[in-house]
Amino acid sequence: MLIGLTGTNSSGKSEAANYLREKGFLYFSLSDIVRREVQNMGMPLTRENMIEVGRSLRLRHGPGYLAEQISRELKEPSVVDSIRCPEEVEVLRKKTGFILIGIDAPIELRFRRSRERGRLGDGETLGEFRRLEQEENTEKGQQLQKTLRMSDIIIINDKSIDHLHRQIDLILRHGESFVVKR
């Protein structure tokens, strides 16, 4: 099984990825490619730099570039994190057994989680968090909302971590039977 993860900021994608790793899945992140590029350019690893370099890579090499790079390394079972644009989904859908899981939660809860993790650039207020997220969801940006709508399964992660894990276990048990054939 190949699982892709997409979703809104601070919705629980990393927690889902870590849980799948515990279950024996190999872990890949499209952000790792961007992170390496930012470091190679000698830039600080800020949210703004990651977004800008990611945009630059997609403009230079095509919108599915990050997924194409990861796609070469995938073998089952694997989880691919940080899927942020529709073309990345299209590349990964070519792989047999690929399921895209979207993870979302109410914005107030996601803002609280972002404050708890303390990552720079997430926004100091709920209004700033909302504004930054809206800026990322443009045709020139990452298109998280459009990508989320392409999900085969969406988990609303507004309960406990154990509840999130149980939702993932259900998906692992039933796999593609959850997925509506396209």
Is the Cβ–Cβ distance between 135 and 123 less than 8 Å?
A: no
Q: Please return the burial class of 104, using the count of CB atoms within 10 Å of its CB with bins 0-12, 13-18 and 19+.
A: buried
**What is the residue whose two structure tokens read 């504004």?**
131
* Span 109-136, pLDDT tens digits: 999 999 988 776 678 899 998 988 887 7
Domains parsed from the chain with CATH numbers: 6-176 (3.40.50.300)
Q: What is the pTM of this model?
A: 0.88
Is residue 179 predicted with pLDDT exceeding 60?
A: no
Q: Please return the burial class of 96, using the count of CB atoms within 10 Å of its CB with bins 0-12, 13-18 and 19+.
A: exposed
- Supply the Cα-derived Rg of the chain in whole angstroms: 16
